[in-house]
Amino acid sequence: MILDLKAKSILVTGASSGLGRHFAGALAEAGATVVAAARRGEELERLVAEIGTSGGRAHAVVMDVTDVASVKAGIAEALRAVGRLDGLVNNSGVTETVPLLDQTEEGWDRVLDTNLKGAWAVATEAARHMAASGAGGAIVNIASVLGLRQGGQLSAYATSKAALVQLTKQMALEWARHGIRVNALAPGYIETDLNRGFFQSEAGKAMLKRIPQRRLGQPGDLDGALLLCLSDASRYMTGAVIAVDGGHLVSSL
């Protein structure tokens, strides 16, 4: 009963594809009114239509998280559509696989601007409205196990996610007085259209053997932790980082 999200309005960034699209659908299925935000308006409209067909409630907002003006305009539009924001899923993210010695400034900035600066911009703007409303809210930052461990040729991504873990704790500390809870999910390897082919290769199969559960995660495996963090079930929980990784972080050396 306390996992019920029927009275809540939740913004999801990076909702046009991948995990963000899945999160938007899962939250709508749980009863939330979803504001789906991303740069690709046409994909957002398709998502909103799909949610509506399934009996859910959703609105589309075009937003570029790397542009603070776009973030402010997008959240203002979201508030006009739903009245208030009870929750935020900071999901927008990009990666780049490149040896650190070959890392370019452009590539580094692209990853950090989206994964870290973008998360800061959206959360801060949303938190201002949550605090002003007097009702508080819940923010979930989507980090990664690579924010807690290392991975070859992923230095910019891992650094951005490690910083996001610390930013989550800073937000939790400063915003608790406003009734705003901030937690992070740290997914392990989750199967998507982008990585499915790799994990069918010999290199991918070898990597799977390092996961104690010996399998990839599915997007739905993140739903329980996500609903927990956005619902009143976690009302005394803030600053936590929840790994959902099949035991990857505790794998044997």
What type of residue is 140?
V
Number of C-beta neighbours around residue 215 at 10 A: 13
d(Cα 99, Cα 85) in Å, to the nearest integer?
Answer: 40
The label of the residue with tokens 């009996």 reads: 55
Closest CA to 155 of 108, 198, 188: 108
CB within 8 A of 207, min separation 6: which ones?
189, 199
DSSP 1-62: -TT--TT-EEEEESTTSHHHHHHHHHHHHTTPEEEEEES-HHHHHHHHHHHHHTT-EEEEEE
Instruction: Give, as one character, the DSSP assignment of residue 83.
Output: S
**Cα distances (angstroms) measured from residue 147 to each of 8, 16, 112, 162, 185:** 29, 24, 13, 4, 10
- Which residue among 157, 221, 229, 246 is the active-site one? 157
Active site residue 157: yes
Q: What is each CA distance from 5 to 9, 106, 122, 133, 226, in whole angstroms?
A: 8, 40, 21, 18, 11
- Cβ within 8 Å of residue 59, ≥6 positions away: 33, 34, 35, 36, 48, 78, 81, 82
Which residues have a catalytic role annotated?
157
